[in-house]
Amino acid sequence: MADSPMTLSEHLATQQAYLSTEHARNVAAVVGRIGRVAAVIAQELAHAALRDRLGYVGAANATGDQVKKLDVWGHDALVAALRETRARAALISEESAEPVEMEAGGTHALVVCADPVDGSSNLDVNGAVGTIFSLRSSRGKTPAGPQALGAGTDQIGAGYVMYGPATALVYTVGQGAHGFTLAPETGEFLLTHPDIRIPRRGKAYGINEGNVHTWHPGQRAFIEHLKARDKASGRPYSLRYSGAMVADVHRTLLDGGLFMYPADWSDPAKPKAKLRLLYEVAPMSFITEQAGGRASTGLERVLDVVATDYHQRVAVILGSPEDVATADEFYRR
Ligand code: FDP
């Protein structure tokens, strides 16, 4: 009989050697706790239509998006879960304009940046959604929230949970990207995708093509390139887009290709991006690089972009390294 797969907590223990002792303990506590709250979120999503949890609350969040009932519920569930660990010092969340400061947990306490329910436009149509998180050091400072600002390379860990037909959790502490699947009968995440390696090139791209007229000319030319027929290089690529970043990035990590959300260049003096740096693009870019992929804004490496605002937005092109390198070339032409 095959050995039983490693649980998330067993796997977190194997990663301790790659982090300083104090950080390692806190990362294991926070990721383990996020795993447990994810199992609860998965249950809530499964029952949302039955419990009248679908639809909007009738207010906008810090970045102007209309908030859904499950966004608020997910934020509250995450805050409560993190408060139960002693490893956290603050939470930067899509659903809160300012950091949620928590009782300081010592020099190695963590600042968690999270989008509790990402892809919420999929909620009311029973589509896949996710939770994204990023971990940084509080450096023992109070308030801890400002310690989240800085480059993506400062992240100690990152991960996401995808609520699809199965609930999947992928995380990194800078030593590869590892994927787990929730066993509903035990509530445990089990290692099903150890050391994910993204293919060097893919066959599909994900982008909201309805925005084509707002794109940078390099972005437009790149998409035309992907659609052009060339048997030798495997083109045309197929279009795959779910509308939830977590689901689109998860597919891209496993199958290769690209996930893109380019900026709106209608006013070239002020390009406007949509996705948020701290709790969407930086963590997903960290995970992608750890899987052997690449993540760019078209103009620079995402992880080098310095956050100066909690809800800063940034363009992203991430996925198979050779595909992203080709996209960058189109931006330079
Ligand atoms: P959503 O607005 O539904 O929360 O977080 C933003 C996000 O979803 C991503 O998950 C997703 O990739 C993107 O926005 C979808 O945006 P479009 O509807 O503009 O394509």
| Per-residue pLDDT tens over the stretch 280-325 | 999 999 999 999 999 999 999 999 999 999 999 999 999 999 999 9
pLDDT at 1: 46
Residue nearest to atom 2 of ligand 1 (CA): 119
The tokens for 308 are 């100066």
- DSSP one-letter string for 237-251: PEE---S-HHHHHHH
Short-list 280, 288, 268, 267, CA closest to 314: 280
Q: Tell if the pTM clears 0.85, that is, is over it.
A: yes
Give the number of other CB atoms < 10 A from CB of residue 131.
Answer: 27
* Contact 243 CB / ligand 1 (< 6 Å): yes
| CB-based contact 36:81 (threshold 8 Å) | yes
* Contact 147 CB / ligand 1 (< 6 Å): no
* Contact 119 CB / ligand 1 (< 6 Å): yes
- Using 50 as the pLDDT threshold, list the residues of the chain that sit under it: 1
pLDDT at 187: 94
Rounded-to-integer distance, Cα 102 and Cα 50, Å: 33
Question: Would you call 59 exposed, middle or buried from its count of C-beta atoms within 10 A (0-12, 13-18, 19+)?
Answer: exposed
182 beta partners: 189
pLDDT at 2: 61
Distance 108 CA to ligand 1 centre (A): 33
Distance 95 CA to ligand 1 centre (A): 15
Output DSSP code: residue 17. G
* Contact 127 CB / ligand 1 (< 6 Å): no
- DSSP one-letter string for 116-167: EEE-GGGGGGT--EEEEEEEEE-TT-SS-GGGG-EEGGG-SEEEEEEESSSE
Distance 4 CA to ligand 1 centre (A): 37
Length of the chain: 333
Rounded-to-integer distance, Cα 215 and Cα 265, Å: 5
Residues with Cβ within 8 Å of 1's Cβ and at least 6 positions away in sequence, in order, are none
* Contact 113 CB / ligand 1 (< 6 Å): no
Cα within 13 Å of Cα(292), Cβ side: 15
φ, ψ at 82 (rounded to 5°): -65, -35
CB crowding 257-281: b at 16 or more within 10 Å, else e: bbbbbbbbbeeeeebebbbbbbbbb
The tokens for 79 are 């805050």
